[in-house]
């Protein structure tokens, strides 16, 4: 019994860590299959040893944990999770258990795709959307109403004027939008999202609604809570669909488990072609009148179950492991594979993350490995297949030196990744120059990675500063292959033009760790110039909305290096703009030059909207006049609203305002 207790306690601890990473940090440490295996083992052990079941066990908890970013909201009806099925036998057992509960066995089922996103509850009063709440722990969730309102597929008003109307669904990102966002994040030097589910969860918890609006979240609704008004789940879906809610067209009523299983397989066959990720199908008893009779456990309803599809996994041979270095010096290990067809594409390479990952998985060159591509952009090696040849393969040994410059690699105390800390590492320099000239940094058009490598290899440039001295190297450049006068002339014009960029672009181009393009803009909006930022302390930086201690410490660490300050001073001498102007980069903004009056109670402080308007080139006035372009009105708008109506001023609410900005 002592040994079993230790195993249970260990499993509980591991699952709690995994749930924290998944639900709170939006950073899963393992795939769903591995997590399900741990949870199912814990369930099995607790069932065999009921005396060891405790209230703090993950099996006794409904859902995830609560983030402290948003206000908590207690659900009127708990948002329960679902029990899982993995094969037809599980479905038959599910059906058998239902038949034991109901007086009449004649009932139908409803099958629909299980969207891989974030569960949300939408509450309407008198036909108006009043609240959007995440599932949280099932009892209370996070109030993300302001972000929910930016999702175009969610109606702000409906024709059902009930005092209380609640519908639930799954917020998700399309595959196309997911890839667009990750490409943008990669270009900006930001960490890419692991999969669309994490991208959707991270987006919905953003404190900046503009970011949420720009990412084009979508939703499918799957459950109407006022079920006493209908006899079946399918009828209720038809009704909410008629109100303007988005309901998945792959949902189908089935008369028995054989039909259920057939439709589950049909959805699985369509899975790759869908423009959104699914990880299974949900099966529900279709007849509402049976729900209370069938009943609930403390964790899930007995009238519904989630059929989980396994991630597509293929075996192939790992031919080679090699390391690469990025602009920050971080070492990434990669695998060259025998080509294998996976999730609709031919895969020849996969990420191995870091050395610790390779050691934990006991990966060797020449081994047969299992590879998956479940929503990730880059395929991942899951595990080794330990066949007859495996014991004879050599143990893999991590590199100790940078693959580009040969410098000894370092591991920081709070990380597992290796880093090249050599400031003169050629590959780091080339990648940092590529970042500096990128679109969201200095935007030097035409300066491709191939041109950068050519200039660097021929010793025409050795750092970013040298880009601004190319005028003096015309003769040497024109002697290079495919470097004509017109190309060089355009490059020189783009370089000269970049000197007038706003300072937030320059700050982003410096490549300070954790400082992406949006953070750079936030910093410069507050400090107004690079000089002021360089004089700031950590506490002053942390005070900025959406800038946390991790970012602040990274900036302080960067400032403390004398060579970095010398670099900034060199750019100053070259005439690069070091100041931030709210209006300089917003000629194309839809509100540039427009005047606004703000009135009423909004979801955020007035200064938040003032900053948003002014940072996009608009201006905020205190009183209404004929020349006012917009009245941004919240609740209890008062006399300014009346005056605006009399003067035919354009009156907009927060949602319309954000939609206008999104057109930028």
Tokens of 22: 């998944």
Question: Residues within the annotated binding site for NAD(+)?
Answer: 32-36, 81-82, 112, 135, 170, 284, 308
How far is it between the farthest Cα atoms of the chain? 92
Burial degree of 414 (CB within 10 A; 0-12, 13-18, 19+): exposed
4's enclosing H/E stretch is: helix 2-19
At 131, which helix (H) or strand (E)?
strand 128-134
Contact 598/519 with Cβ under 8 angstroms? no
Q: Is 42 helix (H, G, I), strand (E, B) or coil?
A: helix
Q: Which two tokens stand for residue 147?
A: 């972000």
With a CB cutoff of 8 Å and minimum separation 6, the contacts of 475 are: none
Instruction: Say whether 114 is catalytic.
Output: yes
**Known binding residues for Zn(2+):** 402, 405, 420, 425
Residues 444 and 496: their CA atoms lie apart, in Å, by 9
Written as six digits, the tokens of 576 are: 């690069």
CA–CA dist 238, 292 (Å, integer): 22
Q: At what angle do helices 32-48 and 2-19 cross, to 10 degrees?
A: 150
Q: Tokens 């599910």 identify what position? A: 94
What is the rounded end-to-end Cα distance, in angstroms, of the chain?
65
Helix (H, G, I), strand (E, B) or coil at 308: strand
Note whether 121 and 342 are within 8 A (CB).
Answer: no
H or E element in which residue 85 lies: strand 84-85
The b-or-e profile of 41-70 (16+ CB within 10 A means b, else e) is ebbebbeeeeeeeeeebbbebbbbebbeeb
Q: How far apart are CA 234 and CA 231, in angstroms?
A: 9
Beta-carbon contacts of residue 75 (< 8 Å; ≥ 6 apart): 121, 133, 138, 139, 140, 141
- Pick the catalytic residue from 2, 6, 76, 114: 114
Rounded CA separation 408/547 (Å): 33
Beta carbons of 638 and 600 less than 8 angstroms apart: yes
Answer positive or negative: Cα dihedral of 126, 127, 130, 135: positive
For the chain, state the CA radius of gyration.
28
Q: DSSP string of 186-218?
A: HHTTPPPPSSHHHHHHHHHT-S-HHHHHHTT-E
Phi, psi of 541 (to 5 degrees): -70, -40
SS3 content of the chain, % helix, strand, coil (to 5): 40, 20, 40
Question: How many angstroms separate the CA atoms of 400 and 147, rounded?
Answer: 46
Residue-by-residue DSSP string for 162-185: -S-EEEEEEEE--HHHHHHHHHHH
User: How far is 645 from 639, CA to CA, in rounded Å?
Assistant: 10
- Are the C-beta atoms of 336 and 157 separated by less than 8 Å? no
Instruction: Give the chain's count of helices (H) and strands (E).
Output: 24, 22
Residues at the binding site are 32-36, 81-82, 112, 135, 170, 284, 308, 402, 405, 420, 425
The Cα–Cα gap between 203 and 183 comes to 16
Q: Which residue, chain included where needed, has tokens 């081994």?
A: 367
On whether the CB atoms of residues 546 and 552 are closer than 8 A, the answer is no
Q: Residues with catalytic annotation? A: 114
């Amino acid at each position: 019994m002592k040994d079993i207790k230790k195993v249970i306690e260990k499993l509980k601890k591991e699952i709690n860590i995994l749930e924290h990473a998944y639900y709170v940090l939006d950073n899963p440490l393992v795939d769903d299959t591995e997590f399900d295996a741990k949870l199912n083992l814990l369930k099995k052990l607790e069932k065999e040893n009921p005396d060891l079941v405790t209230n703090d066990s993950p099996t006794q908890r409904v859902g995830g944990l609560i983030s402290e970013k948003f206000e908590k909201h207690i659900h009127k009806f708990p948002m329960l999770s679902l029990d899982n099925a993995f094969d037809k036998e599980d479905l038959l057992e599910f059906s058998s258990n239902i038949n034991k509960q109901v007086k009449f066995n004649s009932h139908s089922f409803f099958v629909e795709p299980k969207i891989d996103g974030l569960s949300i509850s939408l509450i309407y009063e008198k036909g108006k959307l009043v609240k959007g709440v995440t599932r949280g722990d099932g009892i209370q969730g996070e109030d993300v109403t302001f972000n929910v309102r930016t999702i175009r597929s969610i109606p702000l008003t409906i024709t059902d004027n009930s005092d209380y109307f609640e519908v639930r669904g799954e917020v998700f990102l399309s595959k196309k939008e997911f890839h667009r966002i990750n490409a943008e994040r990669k270009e900006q030097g930001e960490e890419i999202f692991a999969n669309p589910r994490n991208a959707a969860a991270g987006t919905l918890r953003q404190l900046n609604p503009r970011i949420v609006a720009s990412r084009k979240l979508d939703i499918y609704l799957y459950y109407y809570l006022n079920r006493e008004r209908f006899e079946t789940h399918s009828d209720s879906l038809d009704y909410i669909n008629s109100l303007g809610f988005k309901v998945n067209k792959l949902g189908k009523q089935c008369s028995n488990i054989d039909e259920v299983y057939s439709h589950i397989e049909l959805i699985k066959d369509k899975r790759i072609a869908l423009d959104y990720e699914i990880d299974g199908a949900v099966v529900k008893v279709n007849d509402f009148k049976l729900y209370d009779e069938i009943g609930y456990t403390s964790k899930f309803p007995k009238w519904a179950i989630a059929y989980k599809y396994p991630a597509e996994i293929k075996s192939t041979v790992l031919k080679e492991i090699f390391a690469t270095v990025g602009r920050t010096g971080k070492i990434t290990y990669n695998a060259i594979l025998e080509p294998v067809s996976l999730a609709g594409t031919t895969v020849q390479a996969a990420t191995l993350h870091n050395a610790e990952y390779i050691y934990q998985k006991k990966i060797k060159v020449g081994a047969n490995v299992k590879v998956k591509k479940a929503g990730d952009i880059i395929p991942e090696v899951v595990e080794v297949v330990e066949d007859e040849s495996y014991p004879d393969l050599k143990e893999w040994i991590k590199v100790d030196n940078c693959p580009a410059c040969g410098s000894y690699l370092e591991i920081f105390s709070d990380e597992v990744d290796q880093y090249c800390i050599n400031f003169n590492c050629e590959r780091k320099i080339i990648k940092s120059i590529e970042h500096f000239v990128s679109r969201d940094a200095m935007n030097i058009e035409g300066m491709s990675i191939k041109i950068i490598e050519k200039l660097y290899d021929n010793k025409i440039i050795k750092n970013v500063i040298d880009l601004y001295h190319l005028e003096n190297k015309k003769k040497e450049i024109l002697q290079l292959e495919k470097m004509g006068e017109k190309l060089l002339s355009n490059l020189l014009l783009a370089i000269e033009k970049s000197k007038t960029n706003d300072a937030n672009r320059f700050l982003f181009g410096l490549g300070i760790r954790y400082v992406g393009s949006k953070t750079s803009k936030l910093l410069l909006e507050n400090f107004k110039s690079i000089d002021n930022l360089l004089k700031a302390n950590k506490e002053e930086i942390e005070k900025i909305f959406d800038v946390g201690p991790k970012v602040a410490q990274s900036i302080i660490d960067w400032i403390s290096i004398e060579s970095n300050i010398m670099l900034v001073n060199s750019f100053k001498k070259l005439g690069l703009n070091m100041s931030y102007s709210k209006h300089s980069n917003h000629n194309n903004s839809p509100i540039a030059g427009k005047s606004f009056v703000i009135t009423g109670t909004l979801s955020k402080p007035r200064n938040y909207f003032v900053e948003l308007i002014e940072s996009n080139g608009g201006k905020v006035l205190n009183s209404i006049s004929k020349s006012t372009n917009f009245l941004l009105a919240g609740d209890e708008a008062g006399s300014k609203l009346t005056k605006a109506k009399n003067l035919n001023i354009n009156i907009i609410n927060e949602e319309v305002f954000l939609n206008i900005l999104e057109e930028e």
